[in-house]
Chains A and B, each alone.
Chain A
Amino acid sequence: MIINSLKEGLRGGGREGRVCLTSAVILSLSVYISAMAIEVSLLIITLSAIVTSGRSLKVLKAFLPFYVFFAITAIFFGFQVVKSLLAFMAVISAGALIYSTNIKEITGALLYFKVPQRVVSVVSLAISMLPLLVSDFNNIREIHNSKGIKGYYRLLKAFTSTTILRAISISESLYSKSFSYRAVGELRQPEIKDIAVFLLSVLILIYAISLEVST
């Protein structure tokens, strides 16, 4: 479910890359600075849902098994767990902002912020491998669909070895394509909507700081 939702994210959106990347970082920081304040988390979840046209909610849904874990923990630790759960969802929502742009603009943004080409090219290659891995995982799941620990073990083993073999194959392809760690991205002027997303993210950060200062 998580892998499928990541692939869904590759379809991209209309927001500007640098804005999405900086907003994602600002919002994640806000959760941390506010000491996981509930209102900050809720604001981030709402903002991300609006900007990504609801796709961030699909990502949140993909993490459903983790919420069960939180629910069990809540029996022992009470209200604090609700705060942690919302903070967890807020951080995922902040990351999901990336879904509102396209990967080329994210690559462009990373290069703009002077992230080394080596890192950017590897990140972009890893993302390009994702659809193949999703299809591999789905196929393996269809073959090894027996239940129980043994079934899951076989599934995991087949998926791990397939991924390793794919990685070797792809590195062979990279050699054939004269791979030299060159990364290419796209940059464009932010639109008014993009600036609005950025300003709202900054406002949430300021609110988070004010909460921390007042306590």
Chain B
Amino acid sequence: MIEFSVNSYFYPNGRLGLECFSEKFEGCEFLKGRTGSGKTTILRMMNGLIPEFYGGKLDGFIRAFGNKPNPRDIYYIKQNPEEMVTCLDVIDEVAYPSIQQGKKASEAKREAEEVCEEIGIGHLANRKTYEISTGELQLVEIAAAITSGSKFIVLDEPFAHLSRRNALRVIKIIKNLKHVVSEHRIEFEKYFDRTVNLGLEIENIDIPETEKGDVVYNGILELREREIVAITGDNGAGKTMMLKGIAKDMRRKGINFSILLQHPPYHLTENTVEKEVEGVNREVVTAFGLEGIKNRHPQSLSSGQMRRVAIAKAFKAKILLLDEPSAAQDINFRKKLVCLLRKCGKTAVIATHDEELVKYCDWRIEL
């Protein structure tokens, strides 16, 4: 059991991370909240990343199984499993935490093989970590957590980059383990015993209708002015490849467009948020909540905020190619994004797993 009694926590840069939070986590909980409501801060506190790794000022206490939180008891899996990779071979990756805890390599590998078989990823054991899909990598990291013998697994937005099929597979696997999942895709909330809500309220946003204009791109697909198209499909189906292909074709044809890939720091090259979004419609900047952070360095923001800056920056072009824009964003953002695209008369192609977002698009391509 993980017990929280936190009055306040400030990150080393003085930013308030969490305030007045008291809760007991028993396992199989779903944590939801607005972007920036402190979900990741809570997860980081569970295994001691905060304050042991991050520093900062914590007023209050956290107890994990009666002790000070530590990574041996609580295993934290990040939103982007690529950033968890420590080995080139899958089997070594699964055995890695156990080896770091002092277990003999041969024993750790044998256990890793057993766990891989148990959770149905035995066929991945001899593959390279950089050759498998994000969904498969997520399962590999869960296997590593099980092999390490952790008492509790904490997952930060595990479904952000997964198809529905893969997300349900992850849920099935973690069902028998004590776990907390922090997630924006609230359609999966029903699969958990309890929900902890950090103040998420569903806003009522009306999406305006728009008249479609002339064909602005005719290549890999046909795209009309002010049209919003969704590309969907399982992990590894080729959504990002298709988006990149369209970008390459548009570049060759001299069409004005901007592309947003899944990792927002790729796009941020200025020293302040204000400079990044210079020339962007003020309504977009305000709706994305960037006014309050306009003087901050883009790379110092949370991943959710960085993504919003990168999306706002993409609004400079007439056509937007967006790869998973709703990842790390709360439920209201999906409607807000489509609403702004419509209001600003933009044309967009969106590669996504998010069925909610797909609902608001004009049509979809299923890969």
* A positions within 8 Å CB-CB of B: 7, 10-11, 103-104, 124-125, 127-129, 131-132, 135-136, 139-140, 142-145, 154, 157-158, 161-162, 164-166, 169-180, 182, 184
* Contacts of B254-288 to chain A: CB distance below 8 A: 259, 261, 263, 265-269
Q: Judging by beta carbons under 8 Å apart, are A184 and B265 in contact?
A: no
Contact residues in A for B89 (Cβ distance below 8 Å): 104
Contacts of A174 in B (CB 8 A): 86
**Total number of B residues with any Cβ neighbor in A under 8 Å:** 46
Most buried by B among A136, A166, A175: A175
* B88 adjacent to A143 (CB under 8 Å): no
Which B residues between 145 and 203 are near A, CB-CB below 8 angstroms?
A: 148
CA distance A8 to B82 in the complex (A): 19
Give chain A's interface secondary structure class: helix
Decide if B326 is an interface residue (CB 8 Å cutoff).
Answer: no
Contact (Cβ within 8 A) A143 B263 = no
Distance in Å from the Cβ of A104 to the closest Cβ of chain B?
A: 7
Given A103-B88, A175-B49, A177-B96, the answer on whether A162 and B263 have CB atoms closer than 8 Å is yes
A176: chain B residues at CB < 8 Å are 47, 49, 71, 75-78, 84
Complex Cα–Cα for A171 and B89 (A): 19
Q: Which residues of B contact A (CB under 8 A)?
A: 47-49, 52-53, 71-72, 75-78, 80, 82-89, 92, 96-97, 99-102, 105, 128-130, 144, 148, 244, 247-248, 251, 259, 261, 263, 265-269, 299
Contact B80 A169 (CB under 8 A): yes
Is the beta-carbon distance between B99 and A173 smaller than 8 angstroms?
no
Q: In the complex, what residue of chain B is closest to A184 when comparing beta carbons?
A: B105
Q: How far is the CA of A128 from the CA of B267 in the complex (A)?
A: 24
State whether A177 touches B49 (Cβ < 8 A): no
Asked whether A154 and B269 contact (CB < 8 A) given A139-B263, A177-B97, A178-B100, the answer is: yes
In angstroms, Cα B266 to Cα A157, docked, is 9
Q: Which of B53, B80, B100 contacts A177 (CB 8 A)?
A: B100
B72 in contact with A178 (CB, 8 Å): yes
B258, closest chain A residue (CB): A143
Q: A142-B244, A173-B83, A177-B71 are in contact. Are A165 and B265 (CB under 8 A)?
A: yes
Q: How far is the CB of A185 from chain B (nearest CB, A)?
A: 9
A170 adjacent to B49 (CB under 8 Å): no
Contact of B266 with A180 in the complex, beta carbons under 8 Å:
no
A164 to B83 CA separation, bound complex (whole angstroms): 12
A179 interface neighbour in B100, B247, B266, Cβ under 8 Å: B100
B88 shortest CB reach to chain A, Å:
6
Closest to B259 in A: A143
Do the beta carbons of B100 and A142 come within 8 Å of each other? Answer: no
B101 adjacent to A161 (CB under 8 Å)? no
CB-defined contacts of B148 to chain A, threshold 8 Å = 177-178
Asked if A104 contacts B299 (CB within 8 A), the reply is: no
Instruction: Look across to chain B and name the residue whose beta carbon is closest to the beta carbon of A140.
Output: B266
Residues on B with C-beta less than 8 A from A182 are 99-100, 102
For the complex of A and B, the 9 pairs showing the least CB-CB separation, nearest first, are A131-B130, A169-B83, A177-B97, A176-B76, A184-B105, A162-B265, A173-B84, A154-B269, A178-B100
